[in-house]
Amino acid sequence: MSNQDSLIDIAEQYPQLHIDMKYATADNITGQPIYSTATCLLHRHAAVALAKSIEIAGIAGFSIKVLDAYRPQRAQELLWHACPNQDYVVPLSQGSNHTRGTAIDVTLVDTNGQDLDMGTHFDEMDELSHPYHPSLALAFQRNRLLLNAIMFGGGFVGIATEWWHFELPNASEYPLLNDVFTNVSPAQTDGVLP
Stretch of 33-41, 115-123, 159-167, 177-185 lying at the interface with Zn ion (CB under 5 A): 159-167
Contacting Zn ion within 42-101 (CB under 5 A): none
Closer to Zn ion at the Cβ: 173 or 190? Answer: 173
If the CB atoms of residues 80 and 112 are measured against Zn ion, the closer one turns out to be 80
Question: Which value, in Å, is the radius of gyration of the alpha carbons in the chain?
Answer: 16
User: Coil, strand or helix: which one is 137?
Assistant: coil
Contact 63, 20 (CB under 8 A): no
x/- map, 92-111, Zn ion, by CB under 5 A: -------------x------
DSSP H helices in the chain: 10-13, 44-59, 73-82, 138-154, 186-190
Phi/psi of residue 105, nearest 5 degrees: -110, 130
User: How many helices and strands (H and E) does the chain possess?
Assistant: 5, 7
165 binds Zn ion (CB under 5 A): yes
> Total residues at the site for Zn ion (CB under 5 A)?
2
Q: Tell me whether residue 6 or residue 28 sits nearer to Zn ion (CB atom).
A: 28
**How far apart are CB 175 and Zn ion at their closest, in Å?**
18
Minimal CA–CA distance to 33: which of 194, 190, 187?
A: 187
Query: Which of 34, 16, 20, 8 lies closest to 115, judged by CA?
Result: 20
| CB of 109 or CB of 167, closer to Zn ion | 167
Among the candidate windows 13-21, 24-32, 158-166, 173-181, which touches Zn ion by CB under 5 A? 158-166
Clarify whether 162 is annotated catalytic.
Answer: yes
Please report whether residue 123 would count as binding Zn ion according to CB under 5 A. no
Active site members = 162
Residues near Zn ion (CB under 5 A) are: 105, 165
